[in-house]
A and B are shown apart, each in its own frame.
Chain A
Amino acid sequence: MHPALSVIVFTTVSGLGYGLAAVLGLGALDAAAWPTRVAHVLALAAISTGLLSSTLHLGNPQRAWRAFSQWRSSWLSREGVLAVATFLPLTASAWMSVIEGRYLPLWGLLGTAGSVATVFSTAMIYTSLRSVQAWHTPLTVAGYLSFAAAGGLLLATVAAYAAGSDMAPRLALAGIVALAAAWAFKGAWWRRQRRMAPISTPESATGLGAIGRVRLHERPHANENYLTREMGFKVARKHADKLERLALASGGVAPVLLLAAATFAGGGLAIALALLAVPFHAIGVLAERWLFFATARHAVMNYYGR
Protein backbone atom coordinates (compact mmCIF):
# COMPACT_ATOMS: atom_id res chain seq x y z
CA MET A 1 0.00 0.00 0.00
CA HIS A 2 1.14 3.53 -0.73
CA PRO A 3 2.65 5.01 2.44
CA ALA A 4 0.94 8.43 2.34
CA LEU A 5 2.81 10.91 4.51
CA SER A 6 -0.39 12.54 5.79
CA VAL A 7 -1.75 9.23 7.11
CA ILE A 8 1.56 8.18 8.65
CA VAL A 9 1.93 11.52 10.41
CA PHE A 10 -1.70 11.44 11.48
CA THR A 11 -1.54 8.01 13.10
CA THR A 12 1.82 8.68 14.78
CA VAL A 13 1.10 12.16 16.12
CA SER A 14 -2.48 11.53 17.15
CA GLY A 15 -1.39 8.23 18.73
CA LEU A 16 1.11 10.13 20.90
CA GLY A 17 -1.50 12.77 21.70
CA TYR A 18 -4.21 10.30 22.68
CA GLY A 19 -1.70 8.24 24.67
CA LEU A 20 -0.66 11.30 26.66
CA ALA A 21 -4.27 12.42 27.11
CA ALA A 22 -5.23 8.95 28.36
CA VAL A 23 -2.45 8.98 30.98
CA LEU A 24 -3.30 12.53 32.07
CA GLY A 25 -6.94 11.53 32.43
CA LEU A 26 -5.94 8.96 35.05
CA GLY A 27 -4.82 11.79 37.29
CA ALA A 28 -1.34 10.41 37.93
CA LEU A 29 0.20 13.86 37.62
CA ASP A 30 -0.31 16.89 39.83
CA ALA A 31 -2.81 18.97 37.88
CA ALA A 32 -1.42 22.23 39.24
CA ALA A 33 2.22 21.62 38.25
CA TRP A 34 3.33 23.58 35.20
CA PRO A 35 4.65 20.52 33.28
CA THR A 36 1.20 18.92 33.62
CA ARG A 37 -0.40 22.04 32.19
CA VAL A 38 2.04 22.01 29.28
CA ALA A 39 1.30 18.31 28.78
CA HIS A 40 -2.44 18.98 28.53
CA VAL A 41 -1.89 21.63 25.88
CA LEU A 42 0.58 19.40 24.06
CA ALA A 43 -1.86 16.49 23.98
CA LEU A 44 -4.63 18.63 22.53
CA ALA A 45 -2.24 20.14 19.99
CA ALA A 46 -1.00 16.72 18.88
CA ILE A 47 -4.52 15.38 18.52
CA SER A 48 -5.70 18.40 16.53
CA THR A 49 -2.65 18.35 14.26
CA GLY A 50 -3.16 14.67 13.63
CA LEU A 51 -6.83 15.09 12.82
CA LEU A 52 -6.18 18.06 10.54
CA SER A 53 -3.44 16.25 8.64
CA SER A 54 -5.81 13.32 8.10
CA THR A 55 -8.18 15.59 6.18
CA LEU A 56 -5.36 16.71 3.87
CA HIS A 57 -5.64 13.69 1.61
CA LEU A 58 -9.40 14.04 1.08
CA GLY A 59 -10.65 14.85 -2.40
CA ASN A 60 -13.45 17.06 -1.02
CA PRO A 61 -12.47 18.15 2.52
CA GLN A 62 -15.28 20.74 2.61
CA ARG A 63 -17.76 17.87 2.96
CA ALA A 64 -15.80 16.15 5.74
CA TRP A 65 -18.69 16.72 8.18
CA ARG A 66 -20.62 14.05 6.31
CA ALA A 67 -18.16 11.49 7.65
CA PHE A 68 -19.90 11.63 11.04
CA SER A 69 -23.07 10.09 9.66
CA GLN A 70 -22.30 6.39 9.09
CA TRP A 71 -21.12 5.32 12.54
CA ARG A 72 -23.42 2.31 12.41
CA SER A 73 -21.33 0.54 9.79
CA SER A 74 -18.07 2.41 9.21
CA TRP A 75 -15.03 2.43 11.50
CA LEU A 76 -13.78 5.58 9.80
CA SER A 77 -17.03 7.30 10.71
CA ARG A 78 -16.84 5.96 14.28
CA GLU A 79 -13.31 7.29 14.55
CA GLY A 80 -14.51 10.74 13.51
CA VAL A 81 -17.44 10.73 15.93
CA LEU A 82 -15.30 9.48 18.82
CA ALA A 83 -12.52 11.96 18.08
CA VAL A 84 -14.92 14.89 18.21
CA ALA A 85 -16.79 13.55 21.24
CA THR A 86 -13.51 12.99 23.10
CA PHE A 87 -12.52 16.60 22.57
CA LEU A 88 -15.15 17.62 25.12
CA PRO A 89 -13.75 15.86 28.22
CA LEU A 90 -10.17 16.44 27.06
CA THR A 91 -10.76 20.18 26.74
CA ALA A 92 -12.58 20.24 30.08
CA SER A 93 -9.67 18.45 31.78
CA ALA A 94 -7.12 20.71 30.12
CA TRP A 95 -9.12 23.78 31.18
CA MET A 96 -9.32 22.58 34.78
CA SER A 97 -5.61 21.89 34.92
CA VAL A 98 -4.29 24.89 32.99
CA ILE A 99 -6.65 27.53 34.38
CA GLU A 100 -7.69 26.18 37.76
CA GLY A 101 -4.94 23.70 38.58
CA ARG A 102 -7.44 20.98 39.47
CA TYR A 103 -8.10 17.41 38.40
CA LEU A 104 -11.71 16.27 37.97
CA PRO A 105 -11.85 12.47 37.99
CA LEU A 106 -15.08 12.24 35.99
CA TRP A 107 -13.84 14.32 33.06
CA GLY A 108 -10.40 12.76 33.35
CA LEU A 109 -11.65 9.20 33.14
CA LEU A 110 -14.08 10.07 30.36
CA GLY A 111 -11.15 11.53 28.43
CA THR A 112 -9.11 8.39 28.98
CA ALA A 113 -11.94 6.15 27.83
CA GLY A 114 -12.57 8.34 24.77
CA SER A 115 -8.89 8.36 23.85
CA VAL A 116 -8.65 4.58 24.05
CA ALA A 117 -11.84 4.19 22.02
CA THR A 118 -10.63 6.60 19.33
CA VAL A 119 -7.28 4.84 18.88
CA PHE A 120 -9.16 1.53 18.86
CA SER A 121 -11.38 2.67 16.00
CA THR A 122 -8.42 4.03 14.05
CA ALA A 123 -6.86 0.60 14.29
CA MET A 124 -10.14 -1.07 13.33
CA ILE A 125 -10.24 0.87 10.04
CA TYR A 126 -7.21 -1.13 8.97
CA THR A 127 -7.98 -4.34 10.84
CA SER A 128 -11.41 -4.65 9.24
CA LEU A 129 -10.05 -4.72 5.67
CA ARG A 130 -9.86 -8.30 4.48
CA SER A 131 -8.41 -7.08 1.18
CA VAL A 132 -5.15 -6.23 2.97
CA GLN A 133 -4.32 -9.50 4.65
CA ALA A 134 -1.36 -8.22 6.68
CA TRP A 135 -3.66 -5.75 8.46
CA HIS A 136 -6.54 -8.15 9.00
CA THR A 137 -5.53 -9.37 12.46
CA PRO A 138 -6.24 -8.39 16.09
CA LEU A 139 -2.47 -7.82 16.36
CA THR A 140 -3.01 -4.58 14.43
CA VAL A 141 -5.32 -3.29 17.17
CA ALA A 142 -2.96 -4.50 19.90
CA GLY A 143 -0.11 -2.66 18.19
CA TYR A 144 -1.91 0.66 17.74
CA LEU A 145 -3.19 0.67 21.35
CA SER A 146 0.10 -0.34 22.93
CA PHE A 147 2.15 2.13 20.86
CA ALA A 148 -0.19 4.93 21.91
CA ALA A 149 0.10 3.84 25.55
CA ALA A 150 3.88 3.63 25.36
CA GLY A 151 4.18 7.08 23.76
CA GLY A 152 1.76 8.58 26.28
CA LEU A 153 3.58 7.09 29.27
CA LEU A 154 6.88 8.28 27.86
CA LEU A 155 5.66 11.87 27.55
CA ALA A 156 3.99 11.69 30.97
CA THR A 157 7.28 10.49 32.47
CA VAL A 158 9.03 13.56 31.10
CA ALA A 159 6.35 15.78 32.63
CA ALA A 160 6.57 13.95 35.97
CA TYR A 161 10.34 14.30 36.15
CA ALA A 162 10.08 17.96 35.19
CA ALA A 163 7.53 18.46 37.98
CA GLY A 164 9.79 16.63 40.43
CA SER A 165 6.94 14.25 41.15
CA ASP A 166 7.64 10.99 42.97
CA MET A 167 5.33 9.30 40.43
CA ALA A 168 8.09 9.70 37.83
CA PRO A 169 9.99 6.42 38.37
CA ARG A 170 6.71 4.50 38.44
CA LEU A 171 5.58 6.10 35.20
CA ALA A 172 8.98 5.34 33.68
CA LEU A 173 8.58 1.70 34.67
CA ALA A 174 5.08 1.57 33.21
CA GLY A 175 6.51 3.15 30.05
CA ILE A 176 9.14 0.42 29.82
CA VAL A 177 6.49 -2.27 30.19
CA ALA A 178 4.29 -0.63 27.53
CA LEU A 179 7.25 -0.27 25.16
CA ALA A 180 8.12 -3.94 25.61
CA ALA A 181 4.52 -4.94 24.98
CA ALA A 182 4.20 -2.73 21.90
CA TRP A 183 7.31 -4.10 20.25
CA ALA A 184 6.40 -7.65 21.22
CA PHE A 185 3.05 -7.19 19.45
CA LYS A 186 4.84 -5.63 16.49
CA GLY A 187 7.29 -8.52 16.35
CA ALA A 188 4.42 -10.97 16.27
CA TRP A 189 2.72 -8.87 13.59
CA TRP A 190 5.86 -8.90 11.42
CA ARG A 191 6.33 -12.65 11.90
CA ARG A 192 2.73 -13.30 10.92
CA GLN A 193 3.13 -11.11 7.84
CA ARG A 194 6.25 -12.96 6.77
CA ARG A 195 4.78 -16.42 7.25
CA MET A 196 1.17 -16.11 6.16
CA ALA A 197 0.07 -17.88 3.01
CA PRO A 198 -1.82 -15.38 0.84
CA ILE A 199 -5.57 -16.04 1.01
CA SER A 200 -6.03 -14.64 -2.49
CA THR A 201 -3.81 -15.57 -5.41
CA PRO A 202 -3.80 -14.85 -9.14
CA GLU A 203 -5.54 -18.23 -9.47
CA SER A 204 -8.43 -17.34 -7.14
CA ALA A 205 -8.58 -13.77 -8.43
CA THR A 206 -9.16 -14.89 -12.00
CA GLY A 207 -10.97 -18.14 -11.19
CA LEU A 208 -8.61 -19.81 -13.66
CA GLY A 209 -6.84 -21.90 -11.03
CA ALA A 210 -8.81 -24.96 -12.14
CA ILE A 211 -6.94 -24.84 -15.45
CA GLY A 212 -3.48 -24.17 -14.14
CA ARG A 213 -0.96 -21.66 -12.93
CA VAL A 214 -1.89 -18.04 -13.70
CA ARG A 215 0.54 -15.28 -14.65
CA LEU A 216 -0.14 -11.74 -15.82
CA HIS A 217 0.59 -11.55 -19.54
CA GLU A 218 -0.45 -7.99 -20.31
CA ARG A 219 -1.55 -5.14 -18.07
CA PRO A 220 -4.69 -3.24 -19.00
CA HIS A 221 -2.75 -0.02 -19.53
CA ALA A 222 0.93 0.64 -20.06
CA ASN A 223 1.11 3.45 -17.50
CA GLU A 224 0.45 3.55 -13.79
CA ASN A 225 -3.13 4.11 -12.70
CA TYR A 226 -4.88 5.04 -9.46
CA LEU A 227 -4.89 1.43 -8.32
CA THR A 228 -1.22 0.74 -8.92
CA ARG A 229 -0.23 4.08 -7.39
CA GLU A 230 -2.43 3.65 -4.34
CA MET A 231 -2.08 -0.10 -3.80
CA GLY A 232 0.89 -1.25 -5.84
CA PHE A 233 3.60 0.02 -3.52
CA LYS A 234 5.93 -2.74 -2.45
CA VAL A 235 9.18 -2.48 -0.59
CA ALA A 236 11.80 -5.17 -1.06
CA ARG A 237 11.89 -7.66 1.81
CA LYS A 238 15.63 -7.04 2.19
CA HIS A 239 15.04 -3.35 2.95
CA ALA A 240 12.02 -4.13 5.10
CA ASP A 241 14.14 -6.38 7.33
CA LYS A 242 16.71 -3.65 7.77
CA LEU A 243 14.08 -1.00 8.50
CA GLU A 244 12.36 -3.26 11.02
CA ARG A 245 15.59 -3.54 12.99
CA LEU A 246 16.13 0.21 12.80
CA ALA A 247 12.58 0.90 13.96
CA LEU A 248 12.96 -1.48 16.89
CA ALA A 249 16.33 -0.04 17.89
CA SER A 250 15.19 3.58 17.74
CA GLY A 251 11.60 3.18 18.88
CA GLY A 252 12.05 0.38 21.42
CA VAL A 253 15.56 -0.35 22.64
CA ALA A 254 16.76 3.27 22.89
CA PRO A 255 13.77 4.62 24.87
CA VAL A 256 13.79 1.62 27.22
CA LEU A 257 17.48 2.17 28.01
CA LEU A 258 16.99 5.92 28.38
CA LEU A 259 13.99 5.49 30.69
CA ALA A 260 15.86 2.94 32.78
CA ALA A 261 18.82 5.28 33.00
CA ALA A 262 16.48 8.10 34.03
CA THR A 263 15.13 6.11 36.97
CA PHE A 264 18.69 5.64 38.24
CA ALA A 265 19.85 9.16 37.52
CA GLY A 266 16.98 11.17 39.00
CA GLY A 267 16.97 14.98 39.14
CA GLY A 268 17.76 17.18 36.16
CA LEU A 269 19.59 14.43 34.30
CA ALA A 270 16.47 12.27 34.45
CA ILE A 271 14.44 14.99 32.70
CA ALA A 272 17.04 15.18 29.93
CA LEU A 273 17.22 11.39 29.52
CA ALA A 274 13.44 10.93 29.42
CA LEU A 275 13.09 13.84 27.01
CA LEU A 276 15.73 12.35 24.73
CA ALA A 277 13.74 9.13 24.62
CA VAL A 278 10.80 10.95 22.96
CA PRO A 279 12.38 11.71 19.54
CA PHE A 280 13.93 8.23 19.43
CA HIS A 281 10.53 6.70 20.08
CA ALA A 282 8.77 8.95 17.57
CA ILE A 283 11.26 8.12 14.81
CA GLY A 284 10.86 4.41 15.54
CA VAL A 285 7.08 4.65 15.38
CA LEU A 286 7.21 6.66 12.14
CA ALA A 287 9.40 3.95 10.60
CA GLU A 288 7.04 1.26 11.92
CA ARG A 289 4.03 3.07 10.42
CA TRP A 290 5.81 3.51 7.10
CA LEU A 291 6.46 -0.24 7.01
CA PHE A 292 2.87 -0.93 8.06
CA PHE A 293 1.73 0.60 4.78
CA ALA A 294 4.66 0.00 2.48
CA THR A 295 4.95 -3.74 3.09
CA ALA A 296 1.22 -4.54 3.08
CA ARG A 297 0.03 -6.20 -0.13
CA HIS A 298 -3.46 -5.52 -1.42
CA ALA A 299 -5.48 -8.34 -2.99
CA VAL A 300 -5.98 -6.31 -6.18
CA MET A 301 -2.30 -6.74 -7.00
CA ASN A 302 -3.14 -10.31 -7.97
CA TYR A 303 -4.48 -8.69 -11.15
CA TYR A 304 -1.35 -6.64 -11.68
CA GLY A 305 1.34 -9.26 -11.19
CA ARG A 306 2.84 -7.48 -8.17
Chain B
Amino acid sequence: MTSLPAYPSAKRLGLVIDLDVCVGCHACAVSCKEWNTGGYGNALSDQDPYGPDVSGAWLNRIHTFEVVPDGGQVVGEASDARIVHFPKSCLHCEDAPCVTVCPTGASHKRAEDGIVLVDEDKCIGCGLCAWACPYGAREMDVAAGVMKKCTLCIDRIYNETIAEVDRVPSCVRTCPANARHFGDFGDPASAVSTMVAERGGIDLMPEQGTRPVNKYLPPRPRRPLADSAPKAAAVDVSGVTGFFAWLDGVLERI
Protein backbone atom coordinates (compact mmCIF):
# COMPACT_ATOMS: atom_id res chain seq x y z
CA MET B 1 0.00 0.00 0.00
CA THR B 2 1.67 3.23 -1.04
CA SER B 3 -0.73 5.49 0.75
CA LEU B 4 0.96 6.83 3.85
CA PRO B 5 -0.24 5.53 7.22
CA ALA B 6 -3.40 7.40 8.18
CA TYR B 7 -2.04 8.34 11.57
CA PRO B 8 1.55 9.19 12.37
CA SER B 9 3.03 6.20 14.15
CA ALA B 10 3.66 6.55 17.88
CA LYS B 11 7.12 5.15 17.28
CA ARG B 12 9.23 7.16 14.84
CA LEU B 13 12.62 5.57 14.44
CA GLY B 14 15.39 7.56 12.87
CA LEU B 15 18.87 9.03 13.10
CA VAL B 16 20.47 12.14 14.48
CA ILE B 17 23.60 13.19 12.63
CA ASP B 18 25.95 15.57 14.39
CA LEU B 19 27.63 17.80 11.83
CA ASP B 20 29.87 19.25 14.53
CA VAL B 21 31.43 15.88 15.18
CA CYS B 22 31.56 14.09 11.81
CA VAL B 23 35.16 13.86 10.61
CA GLY B 24 34.26 12.71 7.09
CA CYS B 25 36.00 9.33 7.34
CA HIS B 26 33.32 7.49 5.27
CA ALA B 27 33.41 4.56 7.71
CA CYS B 28 29.62 4.59 8.08
CA ALA B 29 29.14 4.47 4.32
CA VAL B 30 31.49 1.53 4.00
CA SER B 31 29.97 -0.41 6.90
CA CYS B 32 26.49 0.30 5.50
CA LYS B 33 27.49 -1.07 2.13
CA GLU B 34 29.07 -4.12 3.76
CA TRP B 35 26.11 -4.90 6.00
CA ASN B 36 23.44 -4.30 3.41
CA THR B 37 25.08 -6.20 0.62
CA GLY B 38 24.47 -9.33 2.65
CA GLY B 39 21.35 -8.23 4.48
CA TYR B 40 17.85 -7.16 3.55
CA GLY B 41 16.95 -7.85 -0.10
CA ASN B 42 19.29 -8.09 -3.05
CA ALA B 43 23.02 -7.54 -2.74
CA LEU B 44 24.15 -3.98 -3.40
CA SER B 45 25.75 -4.50 -6.77
CA ASP B 46 28.70 -2.64 -8.22
CA GLN B 47 29.35 -2.23 -11.90
CA ASP B 48 32.91 -2.43 -13.18
CA PRO B 49 33.98 -2.94 -9.55
CA TYR B 50 37.75 -3.02 -10.09
CA GLY B 51 37.82 -0.96 -13.27
CA PRO B 52 38.20 2.74 -13.90
CA ASP B 53 34.45 3.37 -14.16
CA VAL B 54 33.38 1.72 -10.93
CA SER B 55 29.94 2.69 -9.74
CA GLY B 56 27.34 1.01 -7.62
CA ALA B 57 24.43 1.43 -5.28
CA TRP B 58 25.16 3.00 -1.89
CA LEU B 59 22.59 3.80 0.76
CA ASN B 60 24.70 6.35 2.57
CA ARG B 61 27.08 8.85 1.05
CA ILE B 62 29.30 11.47 2.63
CA HIS B 63 29.46 14.87 0.99
CA THR B 64 31.80 17.61 2.13
CA PHE B 65 30.80 21.25 2.00
CA GLU B 66 32.56 24.55 2.51
CA VAL B 67 30.57 27.21 4.36
CA VAL B 68 31.67 30.83 4.25
CA PRO B 69 29.99 33.20 6.71
CA ASP B 70 28.72 36.55 5.49
CA GLY B 71 31.69 38.87 5.13
CA GLY B 72 34.03 36.03 6.09
CA GLN B 73 37.43 36.06 4.46
CA VAL B 74 38.87 33.20 2.47
CA VAL B 75 42.68 33.40 2.46
CA GLY B 76 44.46 30.30 1.35
CA GLU B 77 43.94 27.55 3.86
CA ALA B 78 43.47 29.75 6.88
CA SER B 79 40.16 31.51 6.60
CA ASP B 80 36.68 31.87 8.00
CA ALA B 81 35.48 29.16 5.63
CA ARG B 82 34.45 25.97 7.43
CA ILE B 83 34.59 22.48 6.12
CA VAL B 84 31.52 20.45 7.09
CA HIS B 85 31.33 16.73 6.43
CA PHE B 86 27.81 15.74 5.61
CA PRO B 87 26.61 12.12 5.70
CA LYS B 88 23.32 11.61 3.89
CA SER B 89 20.96 8.66 3.83
CA CYS B 90 17.18 8.21 3.82
CA LEU B 91 15.48 10.52 6.32
CA HIS B 92 12.40 8.27 6.70
CA CYS B 93 10.11 11.23 6.00
CA GLU B 94 6.66 11.55 7.55
CA ASP B 95 5.22 12.83 4.27
CA ALA B 96 7.38 10.64 2.07
CA PRO B 97 6.78 11.52 -1.60
CA CYS B 98 8.77 8.42 -2.62
CA VAL B 99 6.03 6.28 -1.09
CA THR B 100 2.95 7.89 -2.60
CA VAL B 101 4.32 7.94 -6.18
CA CYS B 102 5.11 4.21 -6.23
CA PRO B 103 2.72 2.47 -8.64
CA THR B 104 3.26 -1.05 -7.32
CA GLY B 105 3.02 -0.85 -3.55
CA ALA B 106 6.69 -1.79 -3.24
CA SER B 107 7.65 1.47 -1.57
CA HIS B 108 5.90 1.81 1.76
CA LYS B 109 6.08 3.43 5.17
CA ARG B 110 5.56 1.09 8.09
CA ALA B 111 2.76 2.11 10.40
CA GLU B 112 4.41 0.51 13.44
CA ASP B 113 7.73 2.36 13.47
CA GLY B 114 7.73 4.78 10.54
CA ILE B 115 10.52 3.04 8.63
CA VAL B 116 10.32 3.58 4.85
CA LEU B 117 11.07 0.37 2.97
CA VAL B 118 11.03 -1.11 -0.53
CA ASP B 119 9.55 -4.57 -0.95
CA GLU B 120 11.95 -5.73 -3.62
CA ASP B 121 9.71 -8.56 -4.81
CA LYS B 122 7.11 -6.01 -5.88
CA CYS B 123 9.41 -3.32 -7.26
CA ILE B 124 9.43 -2.99 -11.07
CA GLY B 125 12.41 -0.63 -11.08
CA CYS B 126 10.58 2.29 -12.68
CA GLY B 127 12.73 4.74 -10.75
CA LEU B 128 9.93 7.20 -10.05
CA CYS B 129 10.50 7.10 -6.28
CA ALA B 130 14.12 8.18 -6.78
CA TRP B 131 12.83 11.14 -8.78
CA ALA B 132 10.35 12.00 -6.06
CA CYS B 133 12.92 11.99 -3.24
CA PRO B 134 14.51 15.44 -3.08
CA TYR B 135 17.44 14.09 -1.03
CA GLY B 136 18.84 11.50 -3.40
CA ALA B 137 18.36 8.80 -0.81
CA ARG B 138 17.35 6.07 -3.26
CA GLU B 139 19.57 4.40 -5.80
CA MET B 140 18.68 1.78 -8.34
CA ASP B 141 20.50 -1.50 -8.16
CA VAL B 142 21.06 -1.89 -11.87
CA ALA B 143 21.96 -5.59 -11.60
CA ALA B 144 18.75 -6.57 -9.79
CA GLY B 145 16.61 -3.85 -11.39
CA VAL B 146 15.11 -2.83 -8.06
CA MET B 147 15.30 0.27 -5.93
CA LYS B 148 17.58 0.26 -2.91
CA LYS B 149 17.44 2.53 0.10
CA CYS B 150 18.34 2.72 3.78
CA THR B 151 16.29 0.23 5.81
CA LEU B 152 17.48 1.67 9.11
CA CYS B 153 19.07 -1.77 9.35
CA ILE B 154 15.76 -3.42 10.00
CA ASP B 155 17.64 -6.72 10.15
CA ARG B 156 19.78 -5.48 13.05
CA ILE B 157 17.59 -3.30 15.23
CA TYR B 158 15.04 -6.06 15.96
CA ASN B 159 17.54 -8.89 15.70
CA GLU B 160 17.63 -10.85 18.94
CA THR B 161 20.36 -13.17 17.72
CA ILE B 162 22.98 -10.44 17.97
CA ALA B 163 24.30 -8.72 21.10
CA GLU B 164 22.11 -5.90 22.34
CA VAL B 165 24.82 -3.31 21.78
CA ASP B 166 24.76 -4.20 18.07
CA ARG B 167 21.01 -3.67 17.67
CA VAL B 168 21.46 -0.27 16.08
CA PRO B 169 22.01 0.59 12.42
CA SER B 170 25.42 -0.42 11.13
CA CYS B 171 26.45 3.19 10.48
CA VAL B 172 25.69 4.19 14.06
CA ARG B 173 27.60 1.21 15.44
CA THR B 174 30.59 1.97 13.24
CA CYS B 175 31.03 5.73 13.51
CA PRO B 176 34.37 6.26 15.31
CA ALA B 177 33.50 9.86 16.18
CA ASN B 178 30.07 9.09 17.60
CA ALA B 179 28.48 11.49 15.12
CA ARG B 180 25.47 9.24 14.49
CA HIS B 181 22.72 8.33 16.92
CA PHE B 182 19.72 6.08 16.55
CA GLY B 183 16.49 6.29 18.48
CA ASP B 184 12.78 6.93 18.71
CA PHE B 185 11.68 10.48 17.91
CA GLY B 186 8.16 9.61 18.98
CA ASP B 187 9.39 9.50 22.56
CA PRO B 188 10.16 13.05 23.75
CA ALA B 189 12.39 11.67 26.52
CA SER B 190 14.59 9.58 24.22
CA ALA B 191 18.26 10.45 23.82
CA VAL B 192 17.75 11.51 20.21
CA SER B 193 14.81 13.79 21.08
CA THR B 194 16.79 15.39 23.90
CA MET B 195 19.80 15.96 21.66
CA VAL B 196 17.64 17.59 18.99
CA ALA B 197 15.98 19.85 21.56
CA GLU B 198 19.28 20.88 23.16
CA ARG B 199 21.29 21.48 20.02
CA GLY B 200 18.55 22.88 17.79
CA GLY B 201 18.35 19.92 15.39
CA ILE B 202 17.25 20.83 11.88
CA ASP B 203 15.27 19.38 8.98
CA LEU B 204 16.88 19.25 5.55
CA MET B 205 14.94 21.14 2.86
CA PRO B 206 11.83 21.76 4.97
CA GLU B 207 10.41 23.64 1.95
CA GLN B 208 9.96 20.31 0.17
CA GLY B 209 7.21 19.43 2.61
CA THR B 210 8.54 15.96 3.35
CA ARG B 211 8.79 16.34 7.14
CA PRO B 212 11.92 14.23 7.63
CA VAL B 213 12.27 12.15 10.79
CA ASN B 214 16.09 12.22 10.74
CA LYS B 215 17.57 15.39 12.19
CA TYR B 216 20.92 17.12 11.73
CA LEU B 217 22.72 18.93 14.55
CA PRO B 218 24.36 22.07 13.19
CA PRO B 219 28.07 22.68 13.80
CA ARG B 220 28.73 24.68 16.97
CA PRO B 221 29.66 28.34 16.45
CA ARG B 222 33.32 29.04 15.82
CA ARG B 223 35.36 32.12 16.69
CA PRO B 224 36.03 34.43 13.77
CA LEU B 225 39.51 34.13 12.27
CA ALA B 226 40.50 37.63 13.38
CA ASP B 227 40.04 36.64 17.05
CA SER B 228 42.77 34.05 16.84
CA ALA B 229 45.39 36.28 15.23
CA PRO B 230 48.41 36.49 17.58
CA LYS B 231 48.54 39.86 19.26
CA ALA B 232 52.18 41.11 19.32
CA ALA B 233 52.89 42.41 22.81
CA ALA B 234 54.30 45.92 22.61
CA VAL B 235 57.73 45.95 24.31
CA ASP B 236 59.15 49.20 25.60
CA VAL B 237 62.72 49.63 24.25
CA SER B 238 63.08 53.40 24.75
CA GLY B 239 65.84 53.18 27.37
CA VAL B 240 68.14 50.84 25.39
CA THR B 241 71.44 52.17 24.01
CA GLY B 242 74.57 50.86 22.26
CA PHE B 243 74.71 47.41 20.66
CA PHE B 244 71.15 46.49 21.68
CA ALA B 245 69.76 49.72 20.26
CA TRP B 246 71.59 48.96 17.00
CA LEU B 247 70.26 45.37 17.04
CA ASP B 248 66.75 46.62 17.74
CA GLY B 249 66.99 48.97 14.75
CA VAL B 250 68.24 46.18 12.45
CA LEU B 251 65.52 43.80 13.56
CA GLU B 252 62.87 46.49 13.02
CA ARG B 253 64.03 46.94 9.44
CA ILE B 254 64.05 43.29 8.39
Instruction: Show the binding face of A for B, using Cβ within 8 Å.
Output: 1, 57-61, 63-64, 66-70, 72-77, 80, 125, 128-132, 199-200, 202, 204-208, 210-221, 223-227, 230-231, 298-300, 302-304
Contact = CB atoms under 8 A, between A and B. Distances in A.
A231 B125 contact: no
A6 B45 CA distance: 24
Q: Which residue, of B54, B64, B205, B219, has the highest number of chain A Cβ atoms within 10 A?
A: B205
Given A74-B102, A74-B103, A207-B202, A227 B134 contact: no
B29 A220 contact: yes
Interface of B: 1-4, 19, 26, 29, 53-58, 61-70, 72, 82-84, 86, 88, 97, 99-106, 122-128, 130-136, 139-142, 144-146, 202-209, 216, 218-219
Contacts of A1: 131
A78 to B, nearest CB: 9
6 contacts: A57-B126, A73-B101, A76-B128, A130-B208, A224-B55, A303-B86
A54 to B, nearest CB: 9
Contact of A67 (B68, B104, B145, B216): B104
B122 A66 contact: yes
Given A204-B205, A207-B202, A226-B142, A131 B134 contact: yes
Q: Which residue, of A60, A68, A199, has the highest number of chain B Cβ atoms within 10 A?
A: A60
A205 B204 contact: yes
Contacts of B145: 58-60
A60 B219 CA distance: 43
Contacts of B56: 225
Contact of B124 (A63, A72, A215, A302): A63
A158 B124 CA distance: 39
A212 B90 CA distance: 25
B125 A67 contact: no
B103 A215 contact: no
Nearest to A205: B205
Contacts of B202: 207
Given A58-B145, A76-B128, 8 more contacts: A59-B127, A60-B123, A73-B101, A131-B131, A131-B132, A206-B204, A212-B67, A304-B136
A74 B2 contact: yes
A100 B130 CA distance: 48
Contacts of A227: 130, 136, 139
Q: Which residue, of A57, A67, A219, has the highest number of chain B Cβ atoms within 10 A?
A: A67
A199 B205 CA distance: 9
A15 to B, nearest CB: 19
A80 B133 contact: no
A197 B7 CA distance: 34
A129 to B, nearest CB: 6
Nearest to B144: A59
Top 9 closest pairs, chain A to chain B, by CB: A59-B125, A59-B145, A300-B136, A220-B61, A77-B103, A212-B69, A299-B134, A67-B103, A218-B64
B127 A57 contact: yes
Contact of B2 (A59, A64, A70, A216): A70
A96 B197 CA distance: 69
Given A66-B122, A205-B205, A211-B82, A300 B104 contact: no
Contact of B132 (A58, A129, A302): A129
Contact of B146 (A60, A129, A202, A299): A60
A59 B123 contact: yes
Contacts of B146: 59-60
A128 B203 contact: no
B21 to A, nearest CB: 15
A204 to B, nearest CB: 5
B82 A67 contact: no
Given A70-B103, A212-B70, A213-B68, A225 B55 contact: yes
Nearest to A81: B103
B143 to A, nearest CB: 9
A59 B205 contact: no
A207 B65 contact: no
Contact of B206 (A125, A204, A215, A218): A204
A189 B136 CA distance: 26
Contacts of A77: 103-104
Contacts of A206: 65, 84, 86, 204
Contacts of A57: 126-127
Contacts of A304: 63, 136
Contact of B3 (A72, A199, A213, A302): A72
